[in-house]
Structure 1
């Protein structure tokens, strides 16, 4: 992707997802088998690649380098205007900074964790044209946390989620479901759900940001994951998105696949 094809995303909006793994080539093979991805070299060096679907960028996959956290995980990045100011707000509100802020390729970024230990990143600079739930990007981004309302306060203060700000994000809270929905220009870009358990030995229950990808054939994708060495949880049915399955890749990173929904016919 050329520099001219990059864009500057709105402040506070998810702008990318990336997997850090111990074996880059093995991860590429696994996700190619499960999700049909192809890969191109990115701007961050030979230890990183950009996954593509239908010729469009989907996500980054990188090899864990010296000094970086060793846990393999999918990490969302949020666009910010000033990475240093954002890092300061994370610390002021009880979060931690794991890496950075540092210059990486065409921008500056940092890796952080919220008060419950859920990891996330933020990025100052231009990015590929990409938006949660649209085109080749992941279908959904979800924070699984102990208390959605408390988490929403943390992230709202860190990223300035405010519908009154120019091009700001709207935050809506559903008390009965302990769910917060974050929208930008009327489009859902993140969901925060309560019910997580920070003390659980099960990584699926601990607070974390979770990425969901759509596939044309859910059964074929989960079977491919098993054959490629992944672990597949029993399928569930989401009230909003239909059948889905959580998958753990061979290196321990969790993600979800769901059946692609047919476009709603015009009324």
Structure 2
């Protein structure tokens, strides 16, 4: 499921420029930047350094000296859903944004420059799920994946995969690997033969208050042991720890309600 442990590049290359369509960053916009920083710092051992400020105050989370995520502050008058947003790599964010529009998606932010770091846009697919597009310059994205405290996987939860499958294949050039079971609406998307993201149709189990949305998985050493710490820090458990095809997982929220998953991946 994950890329090579301890690396952020394809085929084990450390912190290399990603092929278009590869998840390369994950970011969260919140109202309480300081309190959110404290929560994730205590949960994952993150430290923080300043990042680009085009969209307001913004911090990059650092794990053992390597950047793993971003957290920014929403303007006080913006009442937007609090959610982790994965960014998919692009060689030309302007062209990718135009393709998003032509394929039935929308672009809500950008394209715009983020200092010398790169160029970005934020959009949504035809089902309404929000994602980012990142054209790297000096900032290539996450420097490590698949180790405790770093991202492990990104999954799109939607009513049915057929609604958005063609969109992602056209915009990002993904190939599909259907689920093993014909009764499961669960499709893994590949780039150059390697799995990069998953689309899972959950039907009426889709949360009505969220609609279609991306879910980011963060690796931890012990899912069961992390949950008490998460709740003590003000987070909430939505789906208790359980064993799945990729490892032991739980779906949780931070104190502002941003959903994410914890996973101890199968070796």
Measured against the shorter chain, the TM-score band is: 0.7 to 0.9
Contact 1:24 1:63 survives alignment (8 Å): yes
Residues 196, 113 of structure 1: CA spacing in aligned structure 2 closer, same or farther, 3 A cutoff? farther
TM-score between both structures, scaled by the size of structure 2: 0.82
Which residues of 2 match residues 126-165 of structure 1 at below 5 A? Answer: 126=137, 127-128=140-141, 130=143, 133=146, 137-161=150-174
State which of 82, 88, 106 in structure 1 corresponds to 2:98: 88
Residues 101, 249 of structure 1: CA spacing in aligned structure 2 closer, same or farther, 3 A cutoff? same
Which residues of 2 match residues 62-73 of structure 1 at below 5 A? Answer: 62-65=72-75, 70-73=80-83
Q: Which residue of 2 aligns with 1:38?
A: 47
Q: Secondary structure at the match of 1:81?
A: coil
Distance 1:247 1:23 in 2: 18
Distance 1:9 1:199 in 2: 31
Q: Secondary structure at the match of 1:33?
A: helix
Contact 1:54 1:136 survives alignment (8 Å): no
Which residues of 2 match residues 214-225 of structure 1 at below 5 A? Answer: 214-225=219-230
Contact 2:154 2:216 survives alignment (8 Å): yes
Residues 196, 248 of structure 1: CA spacing in aligned structure 2 closer, same or farther, 3 A cutoff? farther
Moved more, 180-189 or 11-20: 180-189
Residues 178, 40 of structure 1: CA spacing in aligned structure 2 closer, same or farther, 3 A cutoff? same
Alignment RMSD? 2.6
5+ residue gaps, structure 1, are: 162-169
5+ residue gaps, structure 2, are: 1-13
| Cα-to-partner distance string for 1:243-263 (whole Å, 9 max, x where unaligned) | 3221111111100112354x4
TM-fit CA distance, 1:137: 3.7
TM-fit CA distance, 1:74: 0.1
Q: Which residue of 1 aligns with 2:85?
A: 75
Q: Which residue of 2 aligns with 1:179?
A: 186
Which residues of 2 match residues 79-118 of structure 1 at below 5 A? Answer: 79-105=89-115, 106-118=117-129
Q: Which residue of 2 aligns with 1:166?
A: none
Q: Which residue of 2 aligns with 1:10?
A: 19
Moved more, 192-201 or 142-151: 192-201
Contact 1:68 1:99 survives alignment (8 Å): no
Q: Secondary structure at the match of 2:151?
A: coil
Q: Which residue of 1 aligns with 2:132?
A: 121
Moved more, 18-27 or 40-49: 40-49
TM-score between both structures, scaled by the size of structure 1: 0.82
Residues 67, 7 of structure 1: CA spacing in aligned structure 2 closer, same or farther, 3 A cutoff? farther
| Cα-to-partner distance string for 1:117-153 (whole Å, 9 max, x where unaligned) | 1100101123135465468641111000112133221
Task: Determine if the alignment matches structure 1 residue 57 to structure 2 residue 67.
Answer: yes
Moved more, 95-104 or 144-153: 144-153
Q: Which residue of 2 aligns with 1:24?
A: 33
